[in-house]
A and B are shown apart, each in its own frame.
Chain A
């Protein structure tokens, strides 16, 4: 049982995909204009991630090694289609706000990264928990960034206005604000010396994925506990 909860802790804190691994930067920067958008993006990614990990892990002995990437993509794309249609049907306003970034979950490097480095090597149960943990880590990170941007840029939290109109720094809900908030959070993290993809040495592979999306085919989890 401890192995399963450890996966959750690993995804949320130890290897948080946004703050530690620096993965999935595109949706992180693009859709975190408000708390609800960030949360919605995180939650839909969570659903896809958990079930893609489960399916890929279950099929890991069937999928031939040489065509594993296309096979993973097909599985992920099917799940994204399910999420896409569900959101379109049940939360149309959130669906409209997230726009193209819902279909783009297919190519989210967190999902492919976890499939490649974890789900294809571990049991379905553990892989599902790993997807759940990573998805929750992503959701929390996106919600945090979204909350900061919404508060500063639109003066509200979850749509409830707190700061009067006159004092909104609206650049924070625009594209530059995403970079400001993310870079300040990362700078803070570097200052406090939390390990992340940007401050560990190349040979010290405590996060494994230090070289960004492309480097994700290396096994994150194999080396993660070595430090």
Chain B
């Protein structure tokens, strides 16, 4: 105790960041940001989608609570991350899905994808998307059945604008395909008067939520912008060079939802700025590839999941050089 003046200060190691934000604040903001599209989806698709949303979120939270209670771990349901996972999963469901399917998916997302790897911050794959792919593989027919009696699309094939566009492109030569995105106007696609999953249809509601997240600095524009721009460029170059075709890809499927809410998950995306841009471009290229040359119309989920697997490599590639360190000879 030669120097009592110094020992009384307990200084932590740098960086000395002072910020009051916490996981639960961020998750709450994400939930708020998804509120407009949730409300729109429920308003448009009716009672079943409300049941799906409520029960999926409840199942996700309950699964996390029970697992942690059973494994004698501290409970993390208060940080709302399980609720966010449940809500994203619910918004990825077709409106008329039997509710036990998303509930099963929520259990899979929380227990297998998240908790088995160590809980929040440890999962290497977006839990909600992993669960969606799990359900898509297991219940392919019902997961791609977008008929909605309430919307009056049961008489039509109930195909999403993107699927309609793909069918048209496959049926006729691609030169005439993009002329109309299966009869859905751009305005309807933008507002959301089209078939699709509960949360992906209304682009305007999604953009309102995204603007809130950007305003609160929960997400940055790097990943979504790199992602969306890549898809626009790719679909324009390799499509039929028409604006309608590009707009169909931009607004017809889950691109906006995926880019702002699913590709920006903190745990499974790079933290370096240049890495985020590379990640966005990678996912964008994969999405366009899957959509244009793959078997199914939609490719956002698989693209983001593959991006999740790539992110440690991208991060390793883009480690910033500390100030003052010399470049490698």
Any B CB within 8 A of the CB of A170: yes
Instruction: Tell me the bound Cα distance from A168 to B104 in angstroms.
Output: 12
Residues of A within 8 A of B140 (CB): 170
A176 to B136, CA, bound (A): 13
Chain B residues within CB distance 8 Å of chain A: 104, 112, 116, 134, 137-140
B189 CB to nearest A CB, Å: 31
In the assembled complex, the CB of A193 is this many whole angstroms from the nearest CB of chain B, namely: 15
The yes or no answer to A107 lying at the interface (CB within 8 A) is no
A171 touches B138 (CB 8 A): yes
Interface of B is mostly: helix
Chain A residues, CB < 8 A from B104: 169
- The reply to whether the CB of A73 lies closer than 8 angstroms to some CB of chain B is no
Query: Is B116 a contact of A171 with CB atoms below 8 Å?
Result: no
Task: Write the nearest CB–CB distance from B298 to chain A, whole angstroms.
Answer: 18
Chain A residues in 8 Å Cβ range of B134:
171, 176
Chain A contacts to B: CB under 8 angstroms: 168-172, 174, 176, 180, 187
Q: How far is the CA of A170 from the CA of B143 in the complex (A)?
A: 13
For A180, the chain B residues whose CB sits under 8 A away are 112
B304 to chain A, nearest CB (A): 17
Q: Is chain A's interface secondary structure helix, strand, loop, or mixed overall?
A: helix
A174 engages B137 (CB within 8 Å): yes
Contact A170 B112 (CB under 8 A): no
Least CB distance from A167 to B in Å reads: 8
Q: How far apart are B248's CB and chain A's nearest CB, in angstroms?
A: 30
A171 to B134, CA, bound (A): 7
B112-A176 in contact (CB<8A) = no
A94 to chain B, nearest CB (A): 26
Most buried by A among B104, B134, B140: B134
Residue of B nearest to A184 (CB): B112
Are the C-beta atoms of A170 and B116 separated by less than 8 Å? no
For A174, the closest partner residue in chain B by CB is: B137
Most chain B CB atoms below 10 A, which of A169, A172, A187: A169
**Residue among B112, B116, B138, B139 with the highest chain A CB neighbour number at 10 A:** B138
A176 touches B116 (CB 8 A): no
16 contacts between A and B (CB under 8 A): A168-B138, A169-B104, A169-B138, A169-B139, A170-B137, A170-B138, A170-B139, A170-B140, A171-B134, A171-B137, A171-B138, A174-B137, A176-B134, A176-B137, A180-B112, A187-B116
Q: How far is the CB of B16 from chain A (nearest CB, A)?
A: 41
Give bound CA distance, A187 to B116, whole Å.
Answer: 10
Closest beta carbon of chain A to B136's beta carbon, Å: 9
Q: Write out the residue numbers on chain B whose beta carbons fall within 8 Å of the beta carbon of A172.
A: 138
* Closest B residue by C-beta to A167: B100
CA distance A171 to B137 in the complex (A): 6
The smallest beta-carbon distance between A227 and chain B, in angstroms, is 27
Give the shortest distance, in Å, between A127 (CB) and chain B (any CB): 40
Alpha-carbon gap, A169 to B107, bound state (A):
14
Closest Cβ of chain A to B213, distance in Å, is: 32
How many whole Å from B302's CB to the nearest CB in chain A?
13
Residues in B whose Cβ lies below 8 Å from that of A170: 137-140
List residues of chain A with CB within 8 A of the CB of B116.
187
Residues of chain A contacted by B112 (CB below 8 angstroms): 180
- For A191, the closest partner residue in chain B by CB is B71
| CB neighbours of A187 from chain B (8 A) | 116
A-chain residues with CB within 8 Å of residue B137 when the two chains form the complex: 170-171, 174, 176
The CA-CA distance from A176 to B86 in the complex, in Å, is 22
The 5 A-B pairs of least Cβ separation, nearest first, read: A171-B138, A169-B138, A171-B137, A170-B138, A171-B134
Question: Shortest CB–CB separation between residue B103 and chain A, in angstroms?
Answer: 13
User: Distance in Å from the Cβ of B67 to the closest Cβ of chain A?
Assistant: 13
User: Taking CB as reference atom, which chain A residue is nearest B140?
Assistant: A170
CB neighbours of B138 from chain A (8 A) = 168-172
Chain B proximity of A182: nearest CB distance (Å): 13
Q: When chains A and B are docked, how far (Å) is the Cα of A190 from the Cα of B140?
A: 34
Q: Which of A171, A176, A187 has the most chain B CB atoms closer than 10 A to its own CB?
A: A171
Q: Which residues of A contact B139 (CB under 8 A)?
A: 169-170
Q: With the chains together, A187 CA to B67 CA distance in Å? A: 14
Q: Please, which residues of chain B bring their CB within 8 A of the CB of A168?
A: 138
Q: Which residues of B contact A169 (CB under 8 A)?
A: 104, 138-139
The residue on B at minimum CB distance from A183 is B116
